A and B are shown apart, each in its own frame.
Chain A
Amino acid sequence: MDYTASPGGFRQRKLQPNMRLRNSSMDGSDGSQLFDDTSGAVARNQPGGSQAAGFSGQSLLSDPMSNLAMAYGSSLASQGREMVDKNLDRFIPISKLKYYFAVDTVYVGKKLGLLVFPYMHENWEVSYQQDSPVAPRFDVNAPDLYIPTMGFITYVLVAGLALGTQNRFSPELLGVQASSALVWLIMEVLAVLLSLYLVTVNTDLTTIDLLAFSGYKYVGMIVGVVAGLLFGRSAYYLSLIWCCAAIFVFMIRTLRLKLLSEAAAEGRLVRGTRNQLRMYLTMSIAAAQPIFMYWLTYHLIR
């Protein structure tokens, strides 16, 4: 993993863009490796050729012209894919996104437990490795995008289920719910970005980090809605209050280390309007989560 230290305290993550070329230098015990390499053979374009030969007899493969055509076609395809990869990487940082999906089952389990019960956890610092953050599978405090994505999709499905039990379901409603929740998510991330800019917080929180933090509330929403479906309205309210409190504490403890200055994050009382502003900002980001959780789920439980 390449790393660059840039001025201003901002940490950048630069990963090797082509993860497939790691066969030659595999180091399984290296902590910086994002994913386990489970690919067997390297070449995967054999089945296509054999199927085509099976369909039209032996004459296809032995014909030199079609051989040439197949070779040309496959080289063209690989060229096209390289071009697409290169251009796509300019708009969507694919290599950075890969960092957020480097999770495993143990991490997901621990993180879900942390989202529902954050009161016993003591060390909330993200551990770094040579000036770049460690992948989520090695550190339970690192943000990831797997849980928010899965949570969002599960939320849409559970919302459809809940609407179905009230006989209000139709397939377009799934799309409406999905785009509604997505719009609220985008607006929340934009609002947080804007307020971070206005308060001039020098932090290494990237946009994708904020997206991950905003997506963690879907876990609590799903728990609330499922409890409401199974056990009725009172169970919905109880579990929602529990999950709201848990998310509130989780966000405060996580954001405190990133947004506030060193001294304030340790709990000492620091004067100054700037620290006060930052504290208010942290509080309001954390307080917005329960509001959204209630807003996006109350119409599902009637």
Chain B
Amino acid sequence: TKLPTCGNNMAFTLYSLIQAAILCINAVAVLHEERFLSKIGWGVDQSVGGFGDEPGVKVQLMNLIRSVRTVMRVPLIAVNSVCIVLLLLFG
């Protein structure tokens, strides 16, 4: 759907934000545990750092990736199917 332009501002809509969010979550969900994340040192078994109150940015990021992959696997199936059907029907 074409929107009237208003200068250089990208015409963002909430729908494009949802699309971008779905794409990002898909990208995170596609990262494979053994083939990729362990090879670059971001695997689950490598996130046990030292004790104390300093998890560090990298450990937090790895935890975030792992939790996104665990939580969003099943809902993503549904959301992606809905998206595909909508795009096929309405372009």
Residues of A near any B CB (own CB < 8 A): 163, 168, 170, 172-173, 176-177, 179-180, 182-184, 186-187, 197-200, 274, 277, 295-296, 298-300, 302
Contact = CB atoms under 8 A, between A and B. Distances in A.
Contacts of B10: 180
B6 A177 contact: yes
B6 A168 contact: yes
Interface of B: 3-4, 6-14, 16-17, 54-55, 57, 60-61, 64
B14 A182 contact: yes
B7 A200 contact: no
Contacts of B13: 176, 179-180, 183
Contacts, number: 52
Contacts of B60: 197-200
The 3 A-B pairs of least Cβ separation, nearest first, read: A299-B7, A183-B12, A180-B12
29 contacts: A163-B6, A172-B4, A173-B6, A176-B4, A176-B11, A179-B14, A180-B11, A182-B14, A183-B12, A183-B13, A183-B16, A184-B12, A187-B17, A197-B60, A198-B57, A198-B60, A198-B64, A199-B57, A199-B60, A200-B60, A274-B54, A277-B57, A295-B9, A296-B9, A299-B7, A299-B8, A299-B9, A300-B7, A302-B7
Contact of B14 (A172, A183, A295, A296): A183
Contact of B12 (A179, A198, A299): A179
A302 B57 CA distance: 43
Nearest to B58: A198
B62 to A, nearest CB: 11
